[in-house]
Structure formats: structure tokens, C-alpha cells
Amino acid sequence: MALSRFLFFGLLAIRAYAQDSPEEDVQSTTQSPPNALAVKISTTFPASEFFGVKLINNRPTTAVLSITNSEPAPISIVFIGGSLWLPPSPAVQEPHIVRNLTTTKYDGVEIPAGEEESVKYAFKMELQPQELVLNLAVVVRDAEGGVHTLQAFNETVAVVEPDTSIFDPQM
């Protein structure tokens, strides 16, 4: 587990270092480099509301990642991970990480050329209610054995407390 987290964030650091121009803000990380894989990732949160994604403290949040492989060869999903960042604001000059999320291995999930596969990624956390930027990344291996980190989600989310009731025995 620790090795996969180390590999994941090492790949994110290498990817950031290898890009030609420094990124201005967190939102610009959704740009793919010109030599990237022809892979499209669409992320949805089935339990989300109309007003956006809410991460409920101490409850699992599930993201469904639909990965479309437009490469001429199959790709394999190595693992999926993420992090929560402070959004850019006048008070925060440089975005910085608040919490790393669980990294999940996906051994044996192969997406053939021209096909689409959906995988679930679940995580749970406990933070003070606030707005943060959720950054999810997928690490894939191409047919030649090359490892690539792909952006899956990079948007502002709200961390909220769970609803309470007078019938809740934990009160």
C-alpha cells in the first residue's frame, strides 16, 4: 500500500516537472500534454446533488470513472488516487494539499482498444466543513509498458457534516 502511494505521487511529481511551462493555478492541470495517450476519462458521483459534489464526513464517497481507450492497443489501469487541495484565493497565494486520499490498486483491469470501461473509486475522510479542490488521477500502463498519469477530476467540492436527527443514537 505504501509503495503504491509513493509510486502514485512520484509519478505526479515527475509529470509536473516534465511539463514545459509552470502551471498558473490548480484548474489548469486538466490540460493534457501533446504526447498524451488518446484516453478520455469522465468522472461522475452517483450520490451528488444538483448543486455539486458534496463529501460527507465519515461516509464513503464513490466516484465512477468511465475510461474510453482510443489508442490502437489496450491499456491497463494500475491504480487510482487523489488528494484534496485548498482552492486558489487572495488569502492562499499558492495552492497546497490538505489531505491525500486512499490509493486503490486495479490489477487486471484492462481496457481493449476502442472500448470503454467503468470503474469505481471510493474514499472516506473527516475534515472541517469547507470548500476544497478534489483532484483524482488514474495511473495506466500502455501496451509497451510505459506508465502514464491521467487527470480524472479536478473541481471544487464541498466538505459537509452528515445530517443529524433526534432519532440518531450517536447524539
Residue-wise pLDDT for 91-139, tens only, equals 777 778 999 999 999 987 999 999 999 999 999 999 999 999 999 999 9
Question: What's the rounded Cα separation, in Å, for the pair 33 and 134?
Answer: 21
pTM passes above 0.85 = no
